[in-house]
Amino acid sequence: MQSEYNDNWLDQIFIRLFSRKMANAVGTRTPFSGYDGFVDLSLRIMRGRSAAQQQQVVGRVLRSLVPAPVLWSIRTFFSPTQTVCELNAWFATQMFEWLVGPCEVQSVEVQNPDNTARQQNSLVKIKKCRYLEATDCVGQCINLCKMPTQEFFTKEFGIPVTMNPNFEDYSCDMIFGQNPPTLADDKAGQNPCLQTCQTARPSVSICPQIN
């Protein structure tokens, strides 16, 4: 059963902001309002674009949300220490429930640069991703959320992030402080279409929208 959401005034502000940036990036508007409009615009980003081009568009949208001097300052003056990673995880749970639904911070083991491990509270557990549930598409999850988000935080903020979506229960683990693998080495990129996806191709073993 589809989850129900009651977006408050702050959620609606974020939805309108992101939707406007997306509309500007693709040069079009959507006839829908609220979260439905946000999802419709993400569909428009996919149309006629390769996976790499889709990720580039979302990357531009994300960079347009944060002034370049702010990104430079964060990269320059903040290293991905345990405290920084934990603060980012907490911040994500406070600011992005409108996008992904209910989530909470959990403990996780991450690798240090010297290959030792440390335990820290920097895993954001997304219980059932609102965006994945709304789109029902592996390719949209990979190209319009997972890959550009990982690249944005890792390269622009200098804080590595790995996202591990679960396409069976629609949950997702967002781990701050863990370097993301390449898509070729990522299990998320080896998934077939979801049975409920409108453009599903059950004859192929990997969602064709990914490549």
Q: What is the pLDDT of residues 7-57, one digit of tens each?
A: 999 999 999 999 999 999 999 999 999 999 999 999 999 998 999 999 999
Whether the per-residue pLDDT at 200 is higher than 60: the answer is: no
Q: How far is CA 26 from the centre of its chain?
A: 19
Q: Residue 170's pLDDT is what?
A: 95
CB 85 within 8 A of CB 176: yes
* pLDDT exceeds 80 at position 192: no
The whole-number pLDDT of residue 91 equals 95
Q: What is the mean pLDDT of residues 119-134?
A: 96
Which residue, chain included where needed, has tokens 């949208």? 61
> What is the pLDDT, as a whole number, of residue 39?
95
Per-residue CA distances from 147 to 11, 31, 37, 68, 143 (Å): 23, 27, 22, 20, 6
Alpha helices in the chain (DSSP H): 9-26, 34-46, 51-65, 68-77, 82-95, 97-100, 130-135, 138-141, 147-151
The distance between the two most distant Cα atoms of the chain, rounded to a whole number of Å, is 51
Residue 73 has pLDDT above 70, yes or no: yes
- Indicate whether 2 pLDDT > 90: no
Element (H, E) at 167: none
Q: pLDDT tens-digit profile of 34-46?
A: 999 999 999 999 9
pLDDT of residue 131: 96
What integer best gives the mean pLDDT of the chain?
91
Amino acid at the residue 195? Q
Residues 6+ apart with CB under 8 A from 138: 167, 191, 192, 193, 194, 197, 207, 209, 210
Query: Which residue's structure tokens are 């609102």?
Result: 130
Select from 181, 176, 179, 103 the least CA-distant residue to 142: 181
Q: Are 165 and 132 in contact (CB under 8 A)?
A: yes
pLDDT of residue 7: 94
What confidence score (pLDDT) does residue 53 get? 95
Q: How confident is the model at residue 199 (pLDDT cuts 50, 70, 90)?
A: low
User: Alpha helix locations (H) across 96-129?
Assistant: 97-100
Measured distance CA(210)–CA(102) in Å, rounded: 26
pLDDT band at 72 (very low <50, low <70, confident <90, very high): very high
Confidence of residue 145 (pLDDT cuts 50, 70, 90): very high
Over residues 158-168, the pLDDT tens digits come to 999 999 999 99
pLDDT surpassing 60 at residue 68: yes
Residue 202 pLDDT > 80: no
Q: Residues 6 or more apart from 38 whose CB is under 8 A from it?
A: 15, 18, 19, 22
